[in-house]
A and B are shown apart, each in its own frame.
Chain A
Amino acid sequence: MQRFLGVAFAAATLAAGSAAAATFTCPRTGGDLVFGQEANINSLDQMTSNTISTRNIAMNMFESLMTRDENNNAIPELAESYEESADKLTYTFKLRQGVKFHNGKEMTSADVLASFDRYGRVGLFRSMFDQVEGWSAPDANTFVIRMKAPQPTFIELLSSFSVPVVIIPAELKDDPPQQLRTIGTGAFQLVEFVPGSHVRMRRYDGYKPNTRFEQRTGFGGYKVACLDTVTFRVVTEASARVAGLETGELQAVEDIPTKAAAAMRNNRNITLLPLENWWIQIALPNTAIAPTNDLNFRKAVQAALGMEDIMDAATDGNFRLNVGFQYPHQASFSDAGKETYNINDPAVAKRYLAQSSYKGEPVILLTNRDYPPMYNSALVMQQQLQAVGIKAELRVVDWPTSVQMSQKVNSTEFNFFFTGWGTQPALGALPTMQFFVAPGAQYRPRDDKDDPDVLALFREMNTLATEAERNQAFARMQKLVLERAYAFPFGALTKIQASRANVKGFVPFRIPRMANVWLEN
């Protein structure tokens, strides 16, 4: 017996529909919106780049079979519907009719098949297909995925916006990695990409909105391009982004420094748009070497940390204290392990330290200046550790170097690695907790051998049948990870975006969504 899996989709549709009684129509059309983006764009190949700068732009032009709504639920995008077979070994997707690529060609299952073929060959997250036996296109509107074994989380993985399986015309399937031609089905199409300078896209007049919805929701929903063109201009200097917004040369920008935001609050021409829960600021221990291989030492560190001070320095005040690896608005959120968080008690820390094997040797905090929150949080943590008698020293390198150092098995070059987890926590508990299992578990166990208790709970998160059961498994895993001090999540960072006051419909999200955004006057 086949079971129709439209529950989440129906709920999402209702939620989106209830926000407004009628289908969205642009109050005004036309105009060019110039968005000041902080990072350079290397490539618009959404299948082979995991950078935020690529996603910011490419996700306005590409679409996928499944995506996520405003609340991170999986919803169909280019799929009309999908079914999971009773044995959970087959997923059948019916495609939306009349969807056209930017080259005018109508999308069929042959294009979906070719897109999956390319992703399976070069896609960054192709490991999601490990349990996939194969795929086929029995007719022009149907696409079928066959599994080797049931995988309850498959749709969750497939709808991930981290490195999504975007659907491209079949004739692009052999485009080399990083060189995919930018032809998608999105509401905007590429006009020009000048590396280092800007990307310009224009409204795609052949775009067919998803009429299952009435409003934009998350990455999907009912999308309409109200703007004639959108220009993403690379403005790496924060002060230049602020100046551009103040002069009106830029209509919207990302990552406004806190001090500039304070000055802008009284500017009637500018609307500040804080985007909470942008990432989890975190330090990860290297448990392959002393003294961080000693649980008592790690507990001493845990007890020494005061999260307000760390987050305040890291973010200039734009933060929210947050327990664990999910955010309160997410269904999977749990505060399990909260007793390990923000202890900030030097006496307890010294007690654990006395019980540990620590002999006063240097403890290396590996950080970088490319991401100031990482550097600043390391700086404060160094002071807090020194205050309880730990000889904490900073090792400051650039980001690629710190990544490589941190990922070496049995590395002796660091004790704590500083990073930020953005996309994975936003995607949900499963992709986040993937960080704690081999290969490359982020607490760097000796010889990359998993802690069997952590691994067992991660397996439960993957295999339990219902979402509620999987969420409970996540809570248990979070508690275990925190109790064994395999991670030190400091809190949630808020990213401040801003727009000119005449920009309407711009709601901060994981990417700057340009559909359903319009300019007044």
Chain B
Amino acid sequence: MIGVVLRRVASAMPVLLIVSLITFSLMRLIPGDPAAAIAGLAATPQMIAQIRADLGLDEPFLVQMASWYGNLLQGSLGRSILLGKPVVDATFERLPVTLGLSAYAMVLTLLIGLLSGIIAALRQNTMIDQIAMAFAMIGISLPSFFLGLLMIILFAVHLGWLPSGGYVPFWSDPWGWFRAMTMPAVSLAMLQAGLLARITRSTMLEVLRQDYIRTARAKGLPPRRVIFRHALANALIPITTVIGIIISLMISGSVVTEALFSLPGIGQLLTQAVLGRDYPMVQGGLLLVTALLVMVNILVDVAYALLDPRVRYE
């Protein structure tokens, strides 16, 4: 097992290096710079040139690159130009919002997606199957932005049950956090739950047709044991792959949800950084997010190894 983890960690290093190189180069290749964001709408060229000089943005590309990688080797991701604080601090301030949102949405996704997928497979071609898959299709088709707006109008404006936006830290007010995050989590989860339900259904149907399931039934095992011990355990391997992808999609998809519900998460941070050409923030923030996603993938690999002994023997 340790060998699996070490191999995955080692293979992640080139990924991080390539991501950092691409990010650094792309940010310098696209026109525009942070001076325009600082100077505002009424920026004059003189003002922008002055800010560029103040920030050292008029240095050559290679000098800036050497400086950034030099700092990186010393463990520093630099300082955000627009926020005026270390990139690591800015990222870790926002991370709990996005991770909390993603975790809440993930729980909903698993509950809705797995259950409806399993039930639909067990009741194939019945009304239950059709209803479950119809909901899954709606979840996949409905943009999270639109769903979020509908929920705001219904649950915030008309019913007044939930706040229309804003963030409450979990540690200061857990109930407030739960209320503030419910609509964003549902709007984020619906797409993924629909996807997971369809994958779970098709995987379960395939497994349920296998010989060992027929054997298990033939030897008189109770249906619950057949389903959970034999069918689901085997179906979980491809489902785990999908869950890994879903986690990545959730973190990247949170950009829209965070904007709609005014949540100060990573998505908002990086979007603003890109729009404002905050080079250190984009470079450092993306590197940290990439590291997070790599870690998720390693955890998925570990889950494979736990679920499937063949992986451990390879």
With the chains together, A118 CA to B52 CA distance in Å? 18
Interface residues of A, count at CB 8 A: 59
Residues in B whose Cβ lies below 8 Å from that of A237: 165, 259-260, 262
Most chain-B CB neighbours within 10 Å: which of A40, A197, A419, A422?
A197
- Given A398-B32, A404-B33, are A178 and B82 neighbors across the interface (CB < 8 Å)? yes
With the chains together, A197 CA to B259 CA distance in Å? 11
Contact partner of B152 (CB less than 8 A), chosen from A48, A177, A240, A403, is A240
Most chain-A CB neighbours within 10 Å: which of B40, B160, B167?
B40
- Given A42-B83, A124-B47, are A48 and B262 neighbors across the interface (CB < 8 Å)? no
Q: Is the CB of A247 within 8 A of B164?
A: yes
Tell yes or no: B1 within 8 A of A by CB.
Answer: no
Q: Looking at the complex, which of B60-68, B119-127, B267-275 is the stretch in contact with chain A?
A: B267-275
- Given A400-B36, A400-B277, are A246 and B264 neighbors across the interface (CB < 8 Å)? no
- Given A237-B260, A370-B275, are A400 and B47 neighbors across the interface (CB < 8 Å)? no
Closest to B32 in A: A400
With the chains together, A243 CA to B167 CA distance in Å? 16
- Given A42-B83, A51-B40, A404-B33, are A196 and B164 neighbors across the interface (CB < 8 Å)? no
Q: Is the CB of A197 within 8 A of B167?
A: yes
Tell yes or no: B166 within 8 A of A by CB.
Answer: yes
Tell yes or no: B51 within 8 A of A by CB.
Answer: yes
Residues in A whose Cβ lies below 8 Å from that of B51: 124
Q: Is the CB of B41 within 8 A of A243?
A: no
Tell yes or no: A45 within 8 A of B by CB.
Answer: yes
Q: Is the CB of A162 within 8 A of B160?
A: no
Residues in B whose Cβ lies below 8 Å from that of A422: 41-42
Tell yes or no: A233 within 8 A of B by CB.
Answer: yes
A300 to chain B, nearest CB (A): 28
Residues in A whose Cβ lies below 8 Å from that of B262: 197, 233-237, 240
A-B contact count (CB 8 A): 162
Q: Is the CB of B84 within 8 A of A179?
A: yes
Closest to A177 in B: B54
- Given A40-B272, A45-B84, are A239 and B38 neighbors across the interface (CB < 8 Å)? no
Tell yes or no: A131 within 8 A of B by CB.
Answer: no
Interface residues of B, count at CB 8 A: 55
Q: Mark B136-174, 1 if CB is under 8 A from A, else 0.
A: 000000000000010011001100100111110000000
With the chains together, A244 CA to B37 CA distance in Å? 27
Q: Mark B273-301, 1 if CB is under 8 A from A, else 0.
A: 00111000000000000000000000000
With the chains together, A421 CA to B44 CA distance in Å? 11
- Given A397-B31, A400-B32, are A244 and B46 neighbors across the interface (CB < 8 Å)? no
Q: Looking at the complex, which of A314-322, A336-344, A433-441 is the stretch in contact with chain B?
A: A433-441
Residues in A whose Cβ lies below 8 Å from that of B41: 51-52, 279, 371, 419-423
Q: Is the CB of B164 within 8 A of A43?
A: no
With the chains together, A399 CA to B38 CA distance in Å? 12
With the chains together, A419 CA to B94 CA distance in Å? 32
Q: Is the CB of B46 within 8 A of A177?
A: no
Q: Is the CB of A235 within 8 A of B38?
A: no
Tell yes or no: A401 within 8 A of B by CB.
Answer: yes
Tell yes or no: B261 within 8 A of A by CB.
Answer: yes
Q: Is the CB of B166 within 8 A of A400?
A: no
Q: Is the CB of A178 within 8 A of B259?
A: no
Tell yes or no: B221 within 8 A of A by CB.
Answer: no
Closest to A423 in B: B42
Q: Is the CB of B153 within 8 A of A243?
A: yes
Residues in B whose Cβ lies below 8 Å from that of A194: 93, 264
Tell yes or no: B197 within 8 A of A by CB.
Answer: no
Extra A-B contacts (10), CB below 8 Å, given A249-B156, A421-B41: A40-B272, A50-B43, A125-B47, A195-B90, A235-B262, A239-B260, A240-B152, A240-B164, A243-B152, A407-B45
Mind listing 30 A-B residue pairs with CB under 8 Å?
A42-B37, A45-B84, A50-B40, A51-B41, A52-B41, A124-B38, A126-B50, A162-B42, A177-B84, A178-B38, A178-B81, A194-B264, A195-B90, A195-B264, A195-B269, A198-B166, A233-B165, A235-B262, A236-B262, A279-B41, A397-B32, A399-B32, A400-B37, A400-B275, A401-B30, A401-B31, A404-B33, A420-B41, A422-B42, A423-B42
Please report B residues at the A interface, Cβ cutoff 8 Å.
30-34, 36-51, 54-55, 81-85, 90, 93-94, 149, 152-153, 156-157, 160, 163-167, 259-265, 268-269, 272, 275-277
The 5 A-B pairs with the shortest beta carbon distances in the complex, nearest first, are: A440-B45, A400-B32, A196-B264, A178-B84, A197-B264
